Amino acid sequence: MPDCRTRYPILLIHGLNCRDDWIFSYWGPVTELLRARGAQVYLSGQDAWGAVPRNAWALLRRSREVLQETGARKLNLLAHSKGGLEARYLISTLGFAGRVASLTTICTPHHGSRAAEAWLGRERVCRLAGPRLESFWRARGDHAPDFPAALAALTPEAMARFNAENPDSPLVYYQSWGARLDRPGWDPMDRFQLWLTRADAPTDGLVSPASAVWGVYRGTLAGVSHQDSVGGRRRRRPNFDPGVFYVRLVQELAEMGF
């Protein structure tokens, strides 16, 4: 069995529209697979629809809890989608760089998402969907869901400002992966998302590989959707097994001394 024991604990940071205490695991089997192989793995616990700064403060509290519990000096942050932006805000704006060894982002819109821009352009849809999503997640534990702020933060224009305000720290190792979905198959969610982001093609259904580039770019997961890149739907694509991918990712962090 592969050994996934890293020098520093791992904090898994989820993206939009899910919580770590939701009945469906955002990370699918990944968390338990890593723990079974010796990794110290913790979940982040921020809001499903929180604005980036507020969620980053929640990450700060959670990170301090993990450091205190484990006695570790630093953490490895492994983030998907919008969670990668919250991790960067934590490192840069909140001054947590000295306690972070590495940040790995998967399908994070570092340079913005045209899908977010498209949704915001549909004002009537946002007026209908936003309050309903906020109410849904507030009833399930969100402290301050903010649909407009969470979505607006993901546009290319907003991300240009974010990147200028949150430069990388030389104390942290940054690496990233993107994904590209060329053939959606039968899945209606994949089909709809690809249609929505057709002006930004190619994408994983929400984020383009070009937008996902940050730090050392490790590559593009071909034929993989935004949701499937994290394993929450528990689907194995012909050329991508989330469990195998994340086990290898963590092994590499261990080999690099993180």
Distances (CA, A) of 113 to 67, 119, 189, 194: 33, 10, 17, 12
Please tell me the predicted confidence (pLDDT) of residue 93. 98
Q: Which domain holds residue 137?
A: 10-255
Given a cut of 90, whether residue 176 has pLDDT beyond it is: yes
Q: What is the mean pLDDT of residues 220-224?
A: 92
- What pLDDT score does 44 carry? 97
Lowest-confidence region among 79-88, 167-176, 218-227 = 218-227
- What is the predicted pLDDT for the residue at 1? 57
State the average pLDDT over residues 55-84: 98
Residue 193 has pLDDT above 80, yes or no: no
Which residue is it, tokens 């499937």? 228
Q: How many domains does the chain have?
A: 1
Does residue 212 sit within a domain?
A: yes
Q: How far is C-alpha 234 from the geometric centre of its chain's CA atoms? A: 17
Mean pLDDT on 245-258: 97
**CA-based nearest residue to 97, from 189, 168, 177, 193:** 168
* Cβ proximity of 14 and 20 under 8 Å: yes
As a whole number of angstroms, the distance between CA 251 and CA 24 comes to 26
Indicate the average pLDDT of the chain.
91
Q: In the prediction, which pLDDT does 104 show? A: 98
Longest C-alpha distance within the chain, in Å? Answer: 52
Q: What's the pTM value of the predicted model, to 2 decimals?
A: 0.94
Residue 1 in domain: no
Q: Let me know if residue 169 belongs to a domain.
A: yes
Residue indicated by tokens 């507020």: 54
**What is the average pLDDT across 89-105?**
98
Q: Does 150 fall in a domain? A: yes
Residue 123 lies in a domain: yes
Is 183 domain-assigned? Answer: yes
Percentage of the chain lying above the pLDDT 90 cut: 74
pLDDT band at 205 (very low <50, low <70, confident <90, very high): confident
- Is residue 189 scored above 70 in pLDDT? no
Q: Is the pLDDT of residue 99 over 70?
A: yes
CATH number at residue 237: 3.40.50.1820
Residue 4 in domain = no
**3 in any annotated domain:** no
* pLDDT, average across residues 136-157: 94
Q: What is the mean pLDDT of residues 7-28?
A: 94
